[in-house]
Structure 1
Amino acid sequence: MEANQSVFDFDKEVDRTATSSDKWDKYKGKDILPMWVADSDFQSPPQVISAIQERVAHGVFGYTHAPESLTEIFVSRMAERYGWDIQPEWVVYLPGLVCGLNIAARALTDEGQAIISPSPIYPPFISSAKFAERPLLKAPVELENGRWLPNLNHIEDQLTGQGGLLQMCNPLNPGGTVFRREELEATLEFAEKHNLLICSDEIHCDLILDKDCQHIPFASLNESAAQRSVTLMAPSKTFNIAGLGASIAIIPNADIRARFNRAKRGIVPGVNVLAFTAAEAAYQHGEGWLQAQLDYLAGHRDYLMQEINALPGLKLEHIEATYLAWIDCSELPVDNPFSFFEKAGVGMSPGLDFGNRKFVRLNFGCTKKTLEEALLRMKTAIAALDR
C-alpha cells in the first residue's frame, strides 16, 4: 500500500553540505544557492530508504546481477504507463545514462557517419560525438507557439545519405517540452528518409508537470521506430537516486543490442547492489511519492513563471516537464547572465554549456523557501542595474 501523499514533506530542509554533494560543494563556504546540476533536494521515497536500509542490514555486498523481479516490474511499468509491450531481453542495465549516450554514439555509428543533436541541449549529447570522434550536426532548437522544438530541416542538406545517429531528448532538457505523437512521427519519418538510427534520452519521462501531457516513448510508435532505436530511461531523476547509478537501455533490435553490448564490454561496470535495490523499491512503491512531488513541482513551475516573467530582461516559456527552467536573459543588459546571477548569490547552469550563453538553466527541484530566496536575490540584482 502506498503511503498517504500528505505525509511527504517537500518543504523539509535537508542539510546536504556534509555529504560530498556535487551540487552543494560547488559553492562550499560561499553564500550562493546551488540551483544547477539536475538532482533535487528532496529525500527519496521512504520505501526506497527502507529498502536500502534493509539490504545494508544484510551485511554482504558481493558481486550482483539484475534481479529478475526488477525487470518484471519495469516491463509491467512500460505496459501500464505507455502501452509499450517490451521484452525482458531488450533491457540492458547501465550504471548511468550518460554512459548510455556515449556507448550509443560509438556503437551505432561508423567512422565518418554524423551524429545529429538538438542544440541547445544537455551537454553530454555534444561531448558524446566528440569522444566518439564523429562529425556533429546541430539541429537548432527553436520556439514554436511557446514550445521549444528541434528544427531537423535546418541540417537536412548536410546529410550524406550514409546513415548516422539522431539523438533525441524527450522531455527536452533544457526547455521542458513533451513531444506530441505527430512530432515524434515526423522525427521517425526524417530518420527513415535518411537511414538514421535513434538514441532517445527519456530520463525525465516521469516528471510530466502538465496533466494534459503524456509521455510517448519514441520506440513505442511502431515497429520501424522500435527497430532503429535505443531508449534510455532511469529512476534517478524521478526519485532522486542519481548518486546510486541505475539506468536502463531498451533495445528491441537484436543486432543493435549486440553492438551496444560489445561497445561496453570490459569497460562499463555493472550496476551496484544498492542501486538495484533502490530502483526496484522506487518503481514498485514510489508512485504516491512521485505524484506528490509532481504537484509540488508544478506549483514551483507556476510560481517561477509568474515571477521570472515579471522581471525586466528575463523570459521563461511554459515548462511542460522536468524541474529545469530555461530562462532567456537576452534582453538583460549584462554580458554574462550566469556570472551576473552567480555574483548575486544564485548558482545556475550557464547557458553556454548547453549552446546559448544568453540563457541560464535553473533547477527548481528545491524547497519553496530556497526558490523564494533565489528569486529575491535575482530581483535585487536586476533592480540594482537601474541605479
Structure 2
Amino acid sequence: MSTEFDYQINRKGTASQKWEKYSDSDILPMWVADTDFMSPPAVIKALHERIDHGVFGYTNVPAELNELVIQRMQNFYDWEVNSNDIVWLPGLVCGLNLACRSLGESGDTVLTPKPIYPPFMSAPRLSDREVCTLPMQDIDGRKIIDFDALENALTDRTRLLLFCNPHNPGGTVYRKEELKRLAEIIIKHDLYICSDEIHCDLILEQGLQHTPIASLSPEIAARTITLMAPSKTFNIAGLGCSFAIIGNPELRKKFINTKKGVVPDVNLLGYTAAIAAYQEGEAWNQQQLDYLRANRDYLQKEINQIPGLKLTPIEATYLAWIDVSGAKLTNPAHFFEQAGIGMSPGRDFGDNNYMRLNFGCTRSTLEEAVRRIKRALVNELPA
C-alpha cells in the first residue's frame, strides 16, 4: 500500500542544496541530511496562513513556542526546563560554534568522538581551540564513545566535549547507563558538554528511548548545552529554527553574549513551522518513522548481500553508515558517483572506509540506488 511518503516530489530547479549538487548528472543525491518528504500538512497550512497575513517584520520568540518545548521535554523525557533556559538559534551548527567560543579561551582543547558530523571537528578550529578526536568503540555494531580514551585524553587545557546522541553518522542511541558514565566523567573532571540531540525524534529501533544527558541530574544539567531542533524530524531545515537548552544561568549568559551581534534571530516562518510541528506533527512523524524503519530494514538486508559492503543495525536517524572497506576502493566517493549514487564521503567524518547514505527518500529511489550499487560492484567499475 502506497503512502504519502511514496510520492516523489520534484525538487529540481528549487535551489535545493541536496539536488542541485548533481543537477547536471544522472546521480541520485543521497548525501546531505534532509529528507525528500513533504513536510506535515499542519506545517504547510500554518505557513500559508502566516504568509496570507502579509506582514513579515521583526519577530520575537513566540511564548507559545517556548511552552511547547517545555511541555515536550516534560512529556517525552520527564525533563523539567523553563522558558529562561531556551535560546533560539537559526541553526544547530552555529550552536556548536557558540559552545566552543563560550567556554575557555584561545588554545584550550575541545574533545569530540570520531567518526562524527564534520562541524564537530571544524567548530573548535574556527573558535581558535585545539581539537582532540576520540576513538569510538564498536560494541555489537553500535558505535559509542570510548570512555577510557576520553579520560586518558584529558589535559589541564580541556574544557569541552562535543557529543552527539543519537550519533551521526553511526545511528547509535546511547543507553541511560552509558550516559550516566559519561556524566560522571564530565562532573569528575570539571568539564562541560555540548550535546547535539537533533535526531532525538527519529528513533527507529522499537523499544529504545532517547535520553537527554542533561535530564539525568541537576549536576550534569549545570554543565550541559543541549542542542535540538524540529528541522530533521519535520523536514524544515531550510527555515532555520533550532534551540539550545542551557540550565546554568552563568553558562547561558556567556552563550548569549557570544551570540549577540553575530548570530541572527530565527525568522518568523521558522517559528511558525516549529509551532505547528510540535503542536500537530506527532502523528505524522509516527507514520514517517514506520516508513523509515521499512527503508532501513530493506537497505540493511540488501547492502549486506553485496560483496565488499557491510551495514550494521541503525538505531536512529535516516542515515546509513556503510562500511565499504571490503570493496577495496581507492576513492569510494568518486566510485559511487561514477555509479550514479551521490553519498557523503566517510573521509569528511573521519573514516575513509565508510560512506553515509541518506535513506530519507521514497522506496523507489532507494531501490534504484541499491540497483546502481549492485551493478557497480558486480561490474567492478574502475576505482
Same fold per TM (> 0.5)? Answer: yes
Distance in 1 separating the partners of 2:146 and 2:208: 21
Distance in 1 separating the partners of 2:201 and 2:274: 14
Kept after mapping to 1: 8 A contact 2:110/2:158:
no
Distance in 2 separating the partners of 1:50 and 1:175: 34
Q: Deviations over 1:287-313 (max 9, x none)?
A: 111000000000000000000001000
* Aligned-residue offset at 1:358: 1.2
Q: Does 1:270 align with 2:287?
A: no
Distance in 1 separating the partners of 2:374 and 2:2: 33
Q: Deviations over 1:258-300 (max 9, x none)?
A: 0000101001000000000000000000011100000000000
Q: How does 1:1-387 map to 2 (within 5 A)?
A: 9-385=4-380
SS at match of 2:292: helix
Q: Deviations over 1:205-240 (max 9, x none)?
A: 000001211000010000111000000000000000
Q: After TM superposition, where is structure 1 displaced by more than 6 Å over at least 4 residues in a row?
A: none
Distance in 2 separating the partners of 1:360 and 1:172: 15
Q: Deviations over 1:77-116 (max 9, x none)?
A: 1100110010110000000000000000111222232100
Distance in 2 separating the partners of 1:160 and 1:272: 40
Distance in 2 separating the partners of 1:367 and 1:160: 47
Distance in 1 separating the partners of 2:38 and 2:2: 12
Distance in 1 separating the partners of 2:155 and 2:184: 16
Distance in 1 separating the partners of 2:84 and 2:313: 38
Distance in 1 separating the partners of 2:110 and 2:103: 10
Query: Structure 1's 350 and 386: CA in aligned 2 closer, same or farther, altered over 3 A?
Result: closer
Q: What RMSD, in angstroms, separates the aligned Cα atoms of the two structures?
A: 1.3
Distance in 1 separating the partners of 2:311 and 2:138: 11
SS at match of 1:281: helix
Kept after mapping to 2: 8 A contact 1:117/1:168:
yes
Where does the alignment leave 5 or more consecutive residues of structure 1 unmatched? 1-5
Kept after mapping to 2: 8 A contact 1:8/1:292:
no
Distance in 2 separating the partners of 1:333 and 1:157: 33
Kept after mapping to 1: 8 A contact 2:292/2:360:
yes
SS at match of 1:315: coil
SS at match of 1:325: strand
- Residue identity opposite 1:74 in structure 2: V
SS at match of 2:6: coil
Aligned length: 382
Distance in 1 separating the partners of 2:221 and 2:362: 39
Query: Structure 1's 386 and 233: CA in aligned 2 closer, same or farther, altered over 3 A?
Result: closer
What is residue 3 of structure 1 aligned with on the other side? none
- Percent of pairs identical after alignment? 54
- Residue identity opposite 1:102 in structure 2: N
